[in-house]
């Protein structure tokens, strides 16, 4: 069914390859936000230092930033004719 939508893309500013790259960039952004999830405490009066883990503070924002930069690349890439 997806091929049906990608067959006639003459009037669009972005090509088939650009749309695939946009989806890949979006997947990176979603994955980065999934990496940020968690670290909550079952008791509100107890501090859980797990919220400051490397995954949530360093890795996840870098993955999200890479996703946004990849989105810019996907939009700016000149489509093949």
Q: What pLDDT score does 58 carry?
A: 95
Name every residue whose Cβ is closer than 8 Å to that of residue 16 and which is 6 or more positions away in sequence.
6, 9, 79
Q: How does pLDDT run across 2-59, given as a tens digit for each residue?
A: 566 666 666 777 888 999 999 999 999 999 999 999 877 788 888 888 888 999 999 9
Domain boundaries in the chain?
13-76
Q: What is the CA radius of gyration of the chain?
A: 19
Q: What pLDDT score does 4 carry?
A: 64
Whole-model pTM over 0.75: yes
């Amino acid at each position: 069914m997806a091929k049906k939508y990608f067959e006639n893309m003459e009037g669009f500013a972005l090509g088939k390859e650009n749309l695939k790259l946009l989806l890949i960039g979006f997947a990176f952004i979603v994955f980065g936000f999934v990496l940020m999830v968690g670290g909550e405490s079952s008791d509100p009066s107890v501090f859980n230092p797990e919220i400051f883990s490397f995954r949530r503070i360093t890795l996840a924002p870098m993955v999200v930033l890479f996703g946004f930069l990849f989105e810019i690349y996907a939009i700016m890439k000149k489509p093949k004719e």
